[in-house]
Amino acid sequence: MEIAKVRSVRGYFYLFILLISVLMVGCGNHDSEKNHTPKSVTDYAKIKVFGEEHATLTAPPNVPPPVGNRPAKKLFVEMEIVEKEGEMADGVTYMYWTFGGSVPGSFIRTRVGDVVEFTIRNHPDNKLPHNIDLHAVTGQGGGAEASFVAPGQEKTFSFKVVNPGLFVYHCATAPVGMHIANGMYGLILVEPEGGLPPVDREFYVMQGDFYTEGKFGQQGLQPFSMQKAIDENPDYVVFNGNVNGLSGDNSITAKVGENIRIFFGNGGPNLVSSFHVIGEIFDKVYLEGGEQFNHNVQTTLVPAGGSAIVEFVADVPSNLVLVDHSIFRAFNKGALGILSVSGEENKAIFAGAIMEGIYQPEGSVIQNMPKNELEIEAPVNLSKEEQIIAGKNLYMQACFACHQPNGEGIPNAFPPLAKSDYLNADVDRSIGILLHGLSGEVVVNGKSYNSIMPAQQMNDSEIANVLTFIYNSWGNSGKVITPQMVQAQRK
């Protein structure tokens, strides 16, 4: 009997230990993934405010300073609506409707529990009434009804932010789609208690789709096309309001080893974004701008009217390319940007090319680029200056992804056009490459390249313009190429 009792006690003891172990493992997994049960809206609504503060607003790609560990406050936000003409692409302008004068609109940074007193002003020179619907607001229309304001008027309304996350805001005045399509969207961040973990650099990027009467790249002021918007057939899909919003002089920069956070939003109004950074992997993605996150993500889906927070470390020096991985949007409609990372190379992570050779399987041919309905009809009989402008526009459509906006090319892949001895030595050869393509090894500025350049389906004027732009850029010879020179080579 005594032995039986001892065995019984031991059995209960082992069962108790097993139960405790299971609970500890469960709690450990729970904490490590941060899948905690969030506070309710009621809990956040009870947070008391201490003091007042005027919010710092920033235009993209800049972000206001982090909230940190400050208490909830009464936060004063002031924003002006401005209708103004701006650049959509080189030689192409558009009448944007903006929050704060930029597309996307000013970035708003708050923390959960803040009471926001929001003043919105409609510039007296504007033609239309507007309002603002903030997805971070719990209330009628996200504040749209309380903020409806005519030109020359202002409105002030108040709300408490009771859900942490990254939220889109946009105009909700009828026709709602048209107001959004003209650039009326932005992001409001509601940081959790204690703030987001610190990082080295933060950037503000939003995607939008634009609908114009003219085709992609068609010069001049382009009006909005309601029919294309209804058909969901945009001419432009861009980051931060225009084709060059994140490239060239507008490229963003970082250094090797820095932890980077991008607040990414999709204003729409129609398309879903497949956000991807070529040359990096997202270490962390806050899914749909909320509290839950995933690790080691290649491409994240961001719906129209949605957002995501992505974080990664810049591991090696490179020009990281931000794209919508619905890839024709990137290379043919403008959804492309550059994050230039400088610093020491790390061969353990990326060694670059380690061997080169020639591979020509039987039947290899130079490919032709097909014509399509978006092809630009370049004008003829242009001055040199006009050729350069038209050629730059073509270059930014068809050439810059491989040869880069600054003509430097991509090491070990695509040769540079900047200060190119190969290019400057023979104009007719350059024309022939665009007409007929090029394969096999070439030496440019003392370095060997062995890739394929497809034949470009451009007319004589287009080839003359793009080559004139190239020859008059980046330290090249300054030569002018005429359509007659191209025609002679074509024959």
Residues 6+ apart with CB under 8 A from 39: none
The DSSP bridge partners found for residue 69 are none
Is residue 376 pLDDT above 50, yes or no?
no
Q: Where is pLDDT greater, at 151 or 381? A: 151
Helices and strands in the chain: count of H runs, count of E runs: 11, 23
C-beta separation of 47 from 113 below 8 A: yes
The DSSP bridge partners found for residue 319 are 340
* CB-count burial class (<10 Å; 0-12, 13-18, 19+) for 12: exposed
Ramachandran assignment for 194, one of left (phi > 0), alpha (psi -120 to 50 degrees), beta (any other): left
C-beta separation of 470 from 476 below 8 A: yes
Residues 62-73: pLDDT tens digits?
Answer: 999 999 999 999
Residues 6+ apart with CB under 8 A from 306: 168, 265, 266, 288, 289
pLDDT at 353: 67
Share of the chain above pLDDT 90, in %: 69
Is residue 384 pLDDT above 60, yes or no?
yes
pLDDT band at 478, cuts 50/70/90? very high
436-448: average pLDDT: 86
Q: Is-above-0.85 flag for pTM?
A: no
Rounded to the nearest 5°, which phi and psi values hold at 142? 60, 25
What domains can be seen in the chain, in order of their start residue?
A: 42-191 (2.60.40.420), 201-342 (2.60.40.420), 384-490 (1.10.760.10)
pLDDT band at 211, cuts 50/70/90? very high
By DSSP bridging, strand 259-268 and strand 293-297 are unpaired
Rounded to the nearest 5°, which phi and psi values hold at 354? -115, -5
Residues 24-83: pLDDT tens digits?
Answer: 434 433 333 444 556 778 888 889 989 999 999 999 999 999 999 999 999 999 999 999
Rounded to the nearest 5°, which phi and psi values hold at 429? -65, -40
Rounded to the nearest 5°, which phi and psi values hold at 23? -65, -40
Handedness of CA 167, 168, 170, 175 (dihedral sign): negative
pLDDT at 407: 86
Known binding positions: 130, 135, 170-171, 179, 184, 325
Share of the chain above pLDDT 70, in %: 86
Known binding positions for Cu cation: 130, 135, 170-171, 179, 184, 325
Written as one string, the DSSP assignment of 315-344 is -S-EEEEEEESSTHHHHHH--EEEEEEES-
Tokens, residue 384: 């040199």
